[in-house]
Amino acid sequence: MNDWFHVSALAEGVWQLTEPGHVASWLIAGDDRAALIDTGCGLAPIRPVVEALTDRPVVVTQTHHHFDHIGGTHEFADVLVHPLGVEGLAADVPAELIAAYEDYADAMERAFATYAMLDARYFHLVEDAHVPRARPAGPWRIDGVRATGTYDDGDLVDLGGRALRILHTPGHSPDCVSLELVGERILFGGDTVNTGPVYTQLPDSDVPEQRASLARLAAMSDVWDRIFCSHFLRTEVRPEYLARQVAALDALLAGEVPLALAMDCTGRSVLEARFDGFSFLVAHDWRAPVAT
């Protein structure tokens, strides 16, 4: 069911494979092999989409081990992840987590109908890449996958004629990485950089680490012209967006931001700190650190 994915060319030999409303993955073709950054939800096979775009051997480069980024990883033989993600990648995704996300997806699809109607009447901003597709019928499960290798901060994934540089950017999860397309002024932010609610509420999330990772990327922002995000309807931001998120986290950590009750995509009750064009989710019992 290849119409599940929206495919867009970003540059020569670089494509975004979007599951609209859910998650984006990216394919980068080199002279010798191609890298697939994440493999999506696994609701429809991603390998046929990849093979229609490149005939190079494919290495999967995981930004982290969360279920919505690894659903198609089992379709490939060569899989890399940060060492802190090896165990999580190898574990089967619990059925109750998938069921909770399906409830969220159902609600999102219902809400989008109203959103699209209002857009068609007034704004005309919605494009095909934004429109959620009907989810494929049948059972949805995500089995664990054993990584065939690991990478860490500063490592290069050589594709032949171009390479991806690994930047370890924990915060959303301990194993999160961002990937720089070396010399081509493009950064793939994984779940470190997002445009909707940024998830820092998970059991293994760490808000100060998220701030440190974004600050590190912001300090390097003159290296990139384009930064790509995994989630929500706006999947590309300018480099200056990073500094805005750092400033937002500074305010959050200083206890200067009101927190509203919200719910994440698994139905968990959380708190949300809202800013202009994005927000940060934190755990329901989260409190700003006390200054010493």
Over residues 195-210, the mean pLDDT reads 97
Alpha carbon distance 67, 23 (integer Å): 11
Each as own residue / partner, the long-range contacts of residues 2-10 (CB below 8 Å, 24 or more positions apart, any chain) are 2/44, 2/48, 2/49, 2/52, 3/133, 4/43, 4/44, 4/133, 4/136, 5/40, 5/44, 5/46, 5/49, 6/128, 6/129, 7/49, 7/53, 8/129, 10/186, 10/226, 10/228
Over residues 81-107, the mean pLDDT reads 97
Tens digit of each residue's pLDDT (9 = 90 or more) over 217-247: 999 999 999 999 999 999 999 999 999 999 9
Contacts of 134 (CB under 8 A, 6+ apart): 109
Over residues 18-38, the mean pLDDT reads 98
Closest CA to 36 of 63, 12, 8, 9: 63
Q: Given pLDDT bands bounded at 50, 70 and 90, which one contains residue 39? A: very high
pLDDT score of 292 more than 60: no
As a CATH number, domain 2-91+140-283 is 3.60.15.10
Over residues 189-197, the mean pLDDT reads 96
Tokens at residue 207, please?
A: 């808000």
What pLDDT shows up at residue 1? 45
Give the percent of the chain with pLDDT over 70.
Answer: 99
Alpha carbon distance 275, 137 (integer Å): 37
Report domain extents, the chain. 2-91+140-283
